[in-house]
Structures are given as structure tokens and as C-alpha cells.
Structure 1
Amino acid sequence: MANLRDIRNRIDSIENTKQVTRAMKMVAAAKLRRAQERIFEARPYAYKLRELIGHLTDKLEDVGHPLFQQPDTDGVLLIIVTADRGLAGAFNSNVIKTAEAEIEAKYTAERKQGNLYLLCVGRKGHEHFARRDYQLVGDFRNVFDGLNFSLAKKVVEAAHEGFDRAIWGHVDMVYNEFKNTISQNRIVEPLLPLPKEQFLTPVMEEEDLPEIDDTLEVDYIFEPGAEQIMNALVPRFLNYQMWRALLESNAAEQGARMVAMDNATSNAEELRDELQLKYNRARQNAITMEILDISSGAEALES
């Protein structure tokens, strides 16, 4: 039977751990609410920006913006968004596995030829791929504590610079999209060159779209001109795409951490109850042994 003091020490240790995990769950829940609010606040501007670019692509017979054209190069850049910290269940490992599966399925030849580049936002992804000798672009570790729009602009600038210099001709993003507190969607989507198809699809579900008269055709007048407006809007759209991915990943991280810490708290309570039962049995056994010793001593004196 284990020593009573050892069991008591383990119970105290588990109780302290439970308090830490419970506090982390509460902090993650508060951060999740703020992260969701930021996503909801960004959506109206995003919808309108995408809608405007859609009208412009319809207006222009030939979209000559360079970010719609793919450079003649075999280079590929993957932007992988992870977290700076762990203790979030399978959040980081899922997005890393998704990126590795994407590389194996589509970019094995590029990696062998030295034409595959990774831009990792978040410490976990950066360190994981650095240990495996991937070509890393930039250093975006420890950035989620003060997450702001300037980070998205810096990431897009790094991707745009290599795209403009024809170092890479294709840029994909890999990140966790927030679905709910229990699950996340692993997303792989193109960033550059801009696919025209995404501007032709509705920005909202059909049931959310306002009723319009299909017999009327709206003729937009662009001032100063469609091409000038396109040149101004496309960089903003790219920044938004990156900003949206960062917001989604941040919300998904907080949701995953909240669930992981809730499970850890529940496991700690179960383990504490098991040890408490074990402690009570050991204590009862010790008391019984003491009673037997006293009874045996009394009988020996009487005899």
C-alpha cells in the first residue's frame, strides 16, 4: 500500500494543476469571444470589397492586373498559420499535417529542386519546419499576443515581393478555420495569383441575399476608371484575405485551447477522486492495523 503522505502530495499536486487548467480555460473563453467579435466586425467590409472587385472584373474585358497573372517560374510559397503556444489539443499538429500532406501530394518535385518556400506565421509551425530543413521566408514567431492588421500587411508584402520578382509563381495559405468551439476546418486556399472564379461566387449564402429584380441590369459608372479602382482595391483585398486567415486561426486556437483545458480539468478531477478513494482505503487500512496491534497487545497483557 502506498504511503499516505505520498498519496496526499499527489492529490495536492493534481488539485493545483486543476486550478491552472481551469484558469486557462476561462482565459481562452474570454479571448475566444473577442476573436469572434473581430471576425464579425471584419465581414461587412470584406463582403463589399469582394463585391466591388467582382463588378470590376465583369466590367473589364481583360483584367491586366499583375496579381491576376502567374509568373513564369516553378517556385511555390506556402503560408502556414499555426499558434505560438501549445496546450491546444491537436490544433497545431492538424494544420502541420495538412501542410505536409499538401507538400507531398502537389509539391514534392518543387521541394527536391529547391523551389519550395514556407512562410510560417506562429512559433510552432516555424520551429517544426525549421528542424526539417525547409526553406523559410521571414520570421513571424510570437506575434499572436498583439495580433493586428499590420501583421497581415507584412505577410502579404513578403509574399508579394517574391511573386513580383518571380521567385515563386504560386502562393497558397494553410490554416485552421474557426467552425465552433469543438471543431475546426483545415483550409488550403490560393492567395496568388488571384483566382477570378472566387469573385464570381456570392459572398453570402443564397438565403441571406436580398431579393432583387432579375429583369433589371445595373450599369455602374466607375470614376476615375475601372483599372485605377482595381489597382487600388486588389492590394486591400489581399491584405484582407491574410487578415481573415489570421483571425480565423486565432479564434480556432482559443476554441481548441478552451476545449483542451476543459478536458484536462475533468481528467484532473477524475484522477483526484481516484486518489482520494485510494487515500481513504490506505488510511482505513492503517487505522485497522493500529486497532489490531492494540487488541493484540491487550490480549497479551491479559494472558
Structure 2
Amino acid sequence: MPSLKDVKMKIVGVGKTKQITKAMNMVASAKLRGAQARIERFRPYAGKYRDVLAELASKVEGTSHPLLAEHEEKKNCAIVLVTSDRGLCGSFNGNIIAAALKLARQKQDEGMKVRFACVGRKGRDAAAKNGYELLTSYGDRMGSLDFALASSVAQEVIHGYETLELDEVWLVYGEFVSMGHQPPRSLRLLPLATPEAEEAEGDAAGARCEYVYEPQEEQLLAELLPRYVKVQVYRGLLDTSASEHAARMAAMDNATRNCNEMINTLTLLYNKTRQASITSELIDIVGGAEALNG
């Protein structure tokens, strides 16, 4: 049985850990409010932007813009992987990385070379560890997101697609659905899927709106397509940021509860150890007294 001092030191240590996890939970909660407000404001814009652009792309020929053209030979694929810079958020990063690696293996089975464009240290480290080439990487940037970061990442893959260095571009990120649900999501950025292609994949449902465009569709596409890629990457960054804080908040809440359980268990052990020590001392006293009387 451990000594009273050892048990007491463990109780103190777990208590300090509890203070840290509780503070981290409060910090994550404060950051989550801002991140959640940003993605909830931006998500309708990004979704409608994608719908309008897909409808616009369906009205023109695939060769009217380089970002719409399906390459005949598909040899190279880029995956834009968005994760957090720090851990302590449960299985959040692991789920996103697993989804990205699964997609990478599928593309390799199709005979394509896969490269990663990573935002976040966790994704960058995982891609390098698994032997994938990094197209570009941005570490320690998830704490201060802006559209300029999304624009830089998007410009890299746009340039690669226009120069035929890339034949497909995918975005993998953590989608913020609710406080307790942040599943990984994969989205094909390039080439842009038309409504007909989406219906063939089973993604489209219900009737679609018809839009009237001015000026001509080709002129609009030249302006809107590059921005579409930037908008979707920015949405992935915002979604992942909100999801990270929600996941960390839940992880720290679980850690705090575990600390409470450990403290209760150690307190019970401390009391048992103390009682055993007192009983042993009483036995020694009674034994000594009996020996003197004898």
C-alpha cells in the first residue's frame, strides 16, 4: 500500500491538472463563440456561390476556361488538407488526416501522384510522415485566419491546374455541424462539378434555380472561378477553426471530469491508507500495554 505522502502528492498533482484543463476549456469556449459566428455568417455565402457558379458552368463549354476543363490524362492530384496547429482536441485531427489519407490512397489506386497543400502543423507532419510530397504548407496560421491565407493557398493550386501540373484538386477539412459533431469532409475544388455531374453522384436534390447573367457567361467565369476556389478554401479554414475549438472544449471537459474521478478515487485510497496506519499504531500501543501488564 502506498504511503500517505505519496497519495497526497498524487491528489495535489491531479488537482493542478484539473485547474489547467478547466482553464483550457474556458479559453476554447471563448474562442469558439467568435469562430462559430464567423462560419455561420460565411457558410450561406459560400454555399450559394457554389450553386450559382455550378449553374453558370453548366451553360458554357468545358473549354471556355482552364479551371473548367477536364484533363484527358489524370496523373497528378493535389489535396488541400486543413487541420489545427495544436493538439489536445481529441480525435479531431486524426479523423481529418485519416479521411485525407484514404482519399490519397484512392487516387493512387487510380494511377495518380498525390501531393498535399497543408494548412496546420498536424496535417503537414502527418503528410510528411506518410511519405507524401508537400506542394505547400502553412504552419502556425490557424490562430489568425484571414482571406489572404486562403487566397495564397488557392493561388498555388489554381496555378498548378492552369499549367497542367495538377489534374484534380480536393479540399479536406473538418466541418462544424454542432458542438458535438465535427466530421471530416472532402470537396472537389477543380475541375468544378456541374449540376449534372453532382446529380450523377447523388449529391443534388430537388429543383434548381435558373439564373439570368450579365455580361456573358464566359466573362463572368473568368472573374468568378478563381475567386470560387478561394472562397471554398476560406470556408474550409473557418469550418476547421470552429470545429477545433469545439473539439478541444469537449476534450478538456472530459479531462476535467476524469480528474474529478481520479481525485475521488485517490481520496478514498488516502482515507483507507490513513485508517490502516491508525489501526496499525493502535495495535502496537495495545500490544505494548499488554506486554507491560504481563
Matching residue of 1:86: 87
Checking the alignment, whether the CA contact within 8 Å between 1:11 and 1:272 is kept in structure 2 is yes
Matched, 1:34 2:25: no
State the superposition RMSD in angstroms: 2.7
Looking at structure 2, the residues matched to 146 and 2 of structure 1 have their Cα atoms a distance apart, in angstroms, of 48
Q: Which sections of structure 1, spanning at least 5 residues, go unmatched? A: none
Q: In structure 2, what is the Cα distance between the partners aligned to 1:5 and 1:198?
A: 71
Instruction: Tell me, yes or no, if structure 1 residue 247 matches structure 2 residue 248.
Output: no
Check 1:94–1:49 CA distance in 2 against 1; reply closer, same or farther (3 A cut).
closer
What is the TM-score with the length of structure 2 in the denominator? Answer: 0.89
In the TM superposition, what is the alpha-carbon distance from 1:249 to its structure 2 partner? 1.1
Which residue identity lines up with residue 265 of structure 2 in the other structure?
E
Aligned to 1:260: 251
Given that residues 49 and 233 in structure 1 are in contact (C-alpha distance below 8 angstroms), is that contact kept between their aligned partners in structure 2? no
State the partner residue of 2:156.
Answer: 158
Distance 1:16 1:266, change over 3 A: same
In 2, Cα distance between equivalents of 1:135 and 1:120: 11
Assess, with a 3 A threshold, how the Cα gap between structure 1 residues 196 and 127 changes in structure 2: closer, same or farther: same
Give how far 1:59 is off. Answer: 5.4
Shift of 1:16: 0.6
After TM superposition, the structure 1 = structure 2 runs for residues 84-233 of structure 1, keeping only pairs within 5 Å, are: 84-108=85-109, 110=111, 115-197=113-195, 220=212, 222-223=214-215, 225-233=216-224
AA aligned to 2:221 is M
Contact 2:78 2:116 in 1 (8 A): yes
CA displacement at 1:56 relative to structure 2: 3.5
**What is the CA-CA distance between 1:43 and the residue it aligns to?**
3.1
TM-score, normalized by length of structure 1?
0.86
Change beyond 3 A, Cα 1:267–1:205 = farther
Hey, what's the Cα distance between the residues in 2 that align with 1:89 and 1:219? 44
Aligned length: 290
Aligned partners of 2:181, 2:4: CA distance in 1, in Å?
42
Q: 1:49-88, aligned counterparts within 5 Å?
A: 49-50=49-50, 52-54=52-54, 56-57=56-57, 60=60, 64-71=64-71, 72-88=73-89
2:124 maps to a residue whose letter is H
- CA distance in 2: counterparts of 1:48 and 1:199, whole angstroms: 17
- Write the distance in 2 (CA, Å) between the matches of 1:98 and 1:220: 38
Of 65-74 and 147-156, the range deviating more from structure 2: 65-74
Partner of 2:18: 18
Q: Distance in 1 between matches of 2:147 and 2:53?
A: 21
Identity %: 38
With over 3 angstroms needed to count, the CA separation of the structure-2 counterparts of 1:218 and 1:153, relative to structure 1, is closer
Distance in structure 1 (CA, Å) of the matches to 2:50 and 2:130? 38
